[in-house]
Amino acid sequence: MDRRAFLELLAAAPLVPAARAGSAVPSYRAVSRFAPAAVPGMPGPWPGRVVSVRSPRCLDEAGTLVDADVVREMTDRGMRALTGETTALGAWRRFFEPRDVVGIKVNAGGGPHVVSSPPIVAEICRNLVAVGVPASSIVVFERFRDQLEGIGYPAHLPEGVGVFAAEAGNERTQNRAYDPETYVDVDFFGEEDTRSNMMRLVTGRLTKIVNVPNMKDHGATGVTGCLKNVAYGCFSNVARSHARGQTHTLTAVGTFAAVEPLRSRCVLQIMDGLRAVWHGGPFARTTRYVFHPRRILFGTDPVAIDRLLLDVIDDKRKAEGAISIWDRSPKHLRVEDADARDADPDVNILIREPGHVAYASHLGLGTADLARIRVEEIEV
């Protein structure tokens, strides 16, 4: 489209049962010049379908080292099961062709212990090259350079694959890497800057995106999975959605993810569940709250995968005797006291909003109803 399209996403809000009575839903104005694809990448061709591949061999006993050969086998089985193809090459060709420019949206915020594993990212690159996508047309990307550089992806990737970060760090002062004509305008708490812009990389160069989130707890959203990784990871100035014990992440995560061209171009979800964080997320500065599901989830529906993630994290918290991610009791709230939160899994610094997953389903991004989610379990 040559002319700018204005999308008023607030209209979807009354449909969402998770938006509680008495809670103010912000007024969102999403501005984009891009039209949606005939079949948007989210939820894609397989809404409500998830393939979960588990292997006890993917990590060493300590959970430190990743076995790249096992990751390759897990990826092969998962992609073939998702697509119904008999070969891995055939499976990847269902999504990509040689003329594509492919972004791999990693999650580097959980360093050093829980990030998008370099062997998984390398395996994605290997398959893209096998399809015929030139290495120079593949970009591993994240918002913050300081987080990205600490992982050392280039040493694991085929020569020529790019690594890109939009900002040096979370300082809210670097905007050149963001598109001034593709944005969401919303006033959350009366802040001066009410605009969040989409990365120029997404709007101007990439034709397809592979989303590679982790399995992580999150202090504002309950969990951070597919939806938050691609939404908050592709826009500027998003941390303003939660402050002083309050958060608008219930509505913000899905709203950002639904903006074009992000929604149409994010065609494949590969959740890295080799390691996970059950408290203190999205960070993982120590191993105290790290556990090892030893699995990878495959799908095109980010909502379905994140709905499963809610139970993975909440079940682990219950097993550890911690409060639920759904807990909203003021007695567990220590506003902006990250030290108290990190020391005690029964402390929240914000009222969490795991209902953001259901909200996203009402924006058409996928299936949140467990009864309609079909999971294929594979052991290798």
Q: What is the tens place of the pLDDT at every residue in 244-301? A: 889 999 999 999 999 999 999 999 999 999 999 999 999 998 999 999 999 999 999 9
In a domain, 147, yes or no: yes
In a domain, 230, yes or no: yes
pLDDT at 175: 82
Domain interval for residue 68: 7-379
User: What percentage of the chain reaches a pLDDT higher than 70?
Assistant: 93
pLDDT at 90: 98
In a domain, 2, yes or no: no
Task: Identify the DSSP state of 302.
Answer: H
Token pair, residue 52, equals 């979960």
In a domain, 1, yes or no: no
pTM of the model: 0.94
pLDDT tens by residue, 58-78:
999 999 999 999 999 999 999
Q: How confident is the model at residue 24 (pLDDT cuts 50, 70, 90)?
A: confident
Q: What is the C-alpha separation between 19 and 356, in angstroms, rounded? A: 9
Q: What is the C-alpha separation between 5 and 64, in angstroms, rounded? A: 47
Output the average pLDDT for the chain.
Answer: 93
Q: What is the C-alpha separation between 207 and 80, in angstroms, rounded? A: 23
Which strands form 178-185's sheet, in the order they lie side by side?
A: 5-7, 29-32, 178-185, 195-199
Q: Contacts by 227-230 with C-beta closer than 8 Å and gap 24+?
A: 227/253, 227/254, 227/257, 227/302, 227/303, 227/306, 227/356, 227/357, 227/360, 227/365, 228/253, 228/356, 229/105, 229/107, 230/105, 230/257, 230/262, 230/266, 230/302
State the first-to-last Cα distance of the chain, in angstroms, to the nearest integer: 46
Q: What is the C-alpha separation between 35 and 229, in angstroms, rounded? A: 22
Top pLDDT among 22 and 118 is at 118
Q: Structural domain tally of the chain? A: 1
Quick check: 14 pLDDT over 70? Answer: no
Q: What is the C-alpha separation between 69 and 331, in angstroms, rounded? A: 47
Q: What is the C-alpha separation between 296 and 44, in angstroms, rounded? A: 19
Of 166-170, 284-288, 325-329, the range with the lowest mean pLDDT is 166-170
Q: Are 255 and 363 within 8 A, CB to CB?
A: yes
In a domain, 138, yes or no: yes
Nearest CA to 204 among 269, 281, 265?
A: 265
The position carrying tokens 């913000």 is 252
In a domain, 193, yes or no: yes
Quick check: 178 pLDDT over 70? Answer: yes
In a domain, 39, yes or no: yes
Quick check: 97 pLDDT over 50? Answer: yes
pLDDT at 23: 59
Residue 193 belongs to domain with CATH number: 3.40.50.11440
